[in-house]
Structure 1
């Protein structure tokens, strides 16, 4: 092992070599560079440097080495005086992003050296690329990180450099890693050929104004994200059609890899129902989405004063829907259990249904008639109309009895950490962040519940919005792992950075749709600025063009009076 030395070595016994050229496309702050006097030695070239043991060791550093925050004043102390003759030295300072360079020259003994704060590989400071990779792979925001750096005066490169790193190295690495992991998943599932999946779409904005829609397929047995397809609304003629297009791309991708969908669990989107029916794919409905649709209608009904009793039964109706769906595998049996609630809420126990020869509740029931729906009453008729709707009863038969899409909804929450809805991303940037979310979810899908040192499971108290302030407990899981970040870092610095061409070529295979503004002619800046008028000023201008009778054209009587 080469020991570190705090004593620099004089230049004369060694053959100088040129330092690596810095990629000055990564901005250099001119206000930080110092002007120094010309060195006394006319043969001194600041581009020449000494090959020291320390610099050779620095070239071997990797991305997993520890880093520290160092103050500039502390660095300057190391170069103020000559270590040979103790004379005050001329020091040249240069910065590119997080990279800093000090060139020290002694005017008396001509001692000189160059010191770099980080390795430079192929003209790129490694630290700059490392910061960009850490921001991107962790799903963070460059602008938020930049604010943190500015608040503490920590020097940082600009957004253009970050996008250059992402375009040339980071995004190709993410695409390659996802393709590799997905291919490995497909190979493992090809043994069983048929797979049971859950599918759902997530839009980047609510409503029908979304720009992007991502459709996700999850393998239910392993709780793994199998595929995720990103659709831009101008590809399909509007946001409404993005879900169908995303699902079609997912199914086509699975079939092209030798996988057949045994059945799929989705919400009750009519367009998706028709598409899967035409494609001969068995479809089941998620119970939560079904219950949510009914609850919205019942909640709206319960807001009326004369239907207050509906509000008292909402919780029981929700529980009954889940019970009837998850305890029955046969469609008709589900319908029978589902419709049995209407008899129960009337406190009627005829036991004529062979599915329920006895009641499941306790023998003692309330005799307060105000707590029960009265036969023939208007509230009961309204509830019966909602719950016994033909489409509702038809959908009850297709409620999924085993798997649900709750894990898929949890994955949508993970996406928010990598691609928040209030941030606009380009197509490839959005796709890469979706892949990062999928990789993160797949790595942490089976986290166990945390336990105490004595082995007792740990819970935490939460107040979910759905409970409207009611406290409930939630199992506390073990901390998530981020091994995929380490793997991506290794891929970038050991393969992509060395030869980015094949990885960039793999990224180019992705078809990127035209931008949303490509269908419009881009006007000049002067034209747009000239048309810009504030709302207040526009109202004033329009009011000046309104002709009022008392100040505008005189009426007929006034004209005659003036003529006379």
Structure 2
């Protein structure tokens, strides 16, 4: 059976070399230690009373490490086991003979080394921390298991150093790592090799890097595990992945983003800035659990701040989440001594009221894109009424005129002078002199060139039902009152594009815990800020590269100028910090973790309004219509 395994190292040395080289490179410390025992260069192994990480009761009943005196050309030290799992490789031809116990004279005492264990362990830990950067960037290859066994058999040790019997190669797969053992028929382990480094407590480097890669690239465990299953690839267990995510990956990503935020805010102290703000729910519909509110610098297009709110913080009310997240963003920006000169948001009613009452000193502008979108919706809805269908053909022209009026106006009065002219233009009257509104008496003419005899769409009849309906939309008092928020001609289009980046890391079709969802939003912001301002791609002739794109809504083909590919250079320091965090952790991976102070699960465990009943009770109460129907038959 062919099985793909993930290897960090290939065989780069012949197995017969000096003991100090073998033990420091081929057999890492964590593969042999049970109680923080360490490795010295003048010894092949340090004795321990516990089996190596990953061994089972059936495969290793008793574990002893034999220290042999250093020689000019010494053989690898012997690891003795009273019972070896011969089923690991049925083709090895191992013999199940009575246990061969070595005499006490064959072992050298190592009591003098006990006092040096802690010092050596600290030294190795510091060396591992220094090499975290090289480990995080090391190349990874795929190797077929049978090919690896074939290579091991060609480079294998011929005889056991203890009993001089022949040895065979056995293998053990743990997570994404494979370990090879050269074992004789008497159970003596003459040599062991591991395909990966270990980073404390027997945790393999490959498992850490797989978990980090899944999270940092915006993937989820289920899909990548299915990919590994399809390939036959040895893979990290699901429980191990989520433990690594909770203990190391999420905290490192959070710290990395917080440091980036501190640097950005510190450079903007006492400086007038224009902030773009927008909220995003984690799921479609009105049943969202999380709301992400993002603040962007309008000038530099950098994401300055992200606040994530759980509905448990708003008494399970989803509509209140965006307001709470907005308030937290404004408070953080003001506490950082930023001078918010203008704030651009959509026309969210709760935020608009908050700006009028609590933050009246800050100029509040509405996003042009959202305003034009809502205007188009109103026109298309009016076009569905009898006698008004012709309005649908004018939607695009009226929306374009709205953009033009906002761009060339500095006040509501000036806006209405330009805006009211659309009521004359649609009836083929391009000069006017009075009174489309009680408060405004625009006098002027259209700014376009001569339109010719034929014109599309067709002109409206004056005072027709369609014309009257358009008049109601154009001169709607609520719409006119909002125009003062549009004359700044601001748009949050870049924030809308950033929301597409969030979808890459936090899909609306997946559910996440609060820390994981927040960290995935931080990753999207790190991605955006790191690749902000990428230059446009050019071909060999130095010309810009374009891509054709068809818009299904407008039914038109357009071109998009392509940018250079992203480099994702920020992944290297994040992976390095993940490894350093693991190396600094002296606890085991499976130990129970505590919730952070800001985790909404401290409020209540789930979003359910009451505690769940017993599972057995739910099973007994569960009824199926199809099952009842079949029983009645």
When the two structures are superposed, what TM-score results if normalisation uses the length of structure 2?
A: 0.75
Are 1:494 and 2:580 counterparts?
A: yes
2:528 corresponds to 1:449: no
2:256 aligns with: 177
Matched residue, 1:151: 230
1:508 aligned partner: 596
Q: What SS does the corresponding residue of 2:420 show, helix, strand or coil?
A: helix
C-alpha spacing 1:222/1:505, structure 2 compared with 1 (3 Å): farther
Deviation at 1:358, TM superposition (A): 4.6
Rounded to whole Å, the distance in 2 between the matches of 1:305 and 1:179 is 57
Partner in structure 2 of residue 475 of structure 1: 561
Structure 2 Cα separation of the partners of residues 4 and 372 of structure 1: 81
Tell me, yes or no, if the aligned pair for 2:169 and 2:181 is still in contact at 8 Å.
yes
Report the secondary structure of 2:354's partner residue.
helix
Find the counterpart in structure 2 of residue 189 from structure 1.
Answer: 268
Task: Give yes or no for contact 2:421–2:446 (8 Å, CA) kept in 1.
Answer: no
- Which residue number corresponds to residue 13 of structure 2? 5
Give 1:197 shift: 0.6
Q: In the alignment, which of 83, 99, 105 is matched to residue 157 of structure 2?
A: 83
1:173-206 CA distance string (max 9 Å, x none): 01110110000000111141x3211111101122
Q: Does 1:42 align with 2:75?
A: no
Report deviation, 1:79.
3.7
Q: Are 1:211 and 1:232, in contact at CA under 8 Å, matched by a contact in 2? A: yes
CA 1:512–1:455: 2 relative to 1, 3 Å: same
Partner of 1:551: none
Structure 1 residues 253 and 163, CA, compared in 2 at 3 Å: closer, same or farther?
A: same
Partner SS state of residue 539, structure 2: coil
Structure 1 residue 540: Cα displacement? 8.9
**137, 140, 159: which one pairs with 1:64?**
137
Aligned to 2:313, the other structure's residue is in SS state: helix
How big is the shift at 1:115? 0.4
Does the aligned pair in 1 maintain the 2:181–2:193 contact within 8 Å?
yes
Counterparts of 1:435 and 1:44, CA distance in 2? 61
Matched-pair contact (CA < 8 Å) for 1:219–1:225: yes
What are structure 1's unaligned runs of at least 5 residues? 49-55, 545-564
Deviations 1:111-155 (A, max 9, x none): 811100001121211111011011111111111100100001001
Corresponding residue for residue 549 of structure 1: none
| Residue matched to 1:104 | 182
**Distance across 2 between alignment mates of 1:44 and 1:344:** 107
Instruction: Tell me the distance in 1 between the aligned counterparts of 2:220 and 2:582.
Output: 23
Compute the displacement of 1:221 (Å). Answer: 0.8
Instruction: State the distance in 1 between where 2:46 and 2:394 align.
Output: 83
The answer to whether residue 314 in structure 2 is matched with residue 236 in structure 1 is yes
2:468 to 371, 374, 381: 381
Shift in Å at residue 498 of structure 1? 2.3
Cα distance in 1 for residues equivalent to 2:621 and 2:572? 51
Q: CA deviation at 1:71?
A: 1.1
How far is 1:305 from its partner?
5.7
Unaligned 5+ segments in structure 2 are 1-10, 21-41, 60-84, 109-123, 435-440
Q: 1:425–1:521: structure 2 CA closer, same or farther, 3 Å change rule? A: same
Decide whether aligned partners of structure 1 residues 128 and 331 sit closer, same or farther in structure 2, where only a CA change above 3 A counts.
same
Aligned residues: 524
| Residues 300 and 6 of structure 1: CA distance in aligned 2, closer, same or farther (over 3 Å) | same
Aligned position for 1:421: 508
Note the C-alpha offset of 1:4: 4.8
Would the alpha carbon gap of residues 341 and 132 (structure 1) be closer, same or farther in structure 2, given more than 3 Å must change? Answer: same
Q: Distance in 1 between matches of 2:426 and 2:518?
A: 49
Match of 1:17 among 46, 62, 71: 46
User: 1:360 Cα shift?
Assistant: 1.6
CA contact (8 A) 2:283 2:289 kept: yes
Deviation at 1:34, TM superposition (A): 5.0
Counterpart secondary structure, 1:466: coil
Q: Is the 8 A contact 2:292 2:307 kept in 1?
A: yes
Which whole-Å CA distance do the structure 2 matches of 1:396 and 1:376 have between them?
A: 25
Structure-2 separation of matches of 1:99 and 1:113: 17
Task: Label 1:526 to 1:107 Cα distance change in 2 as closer, same or farther (>3 A).
Answer: closer
Q: Answer with 336-345 or 136-145: which moved more.
A: 336-345
Match of 1:215 among 282, 285, 293: 293
1:316 aligns with 2:347: no
Contact 1:11 1:111 in 2 (8 A): no
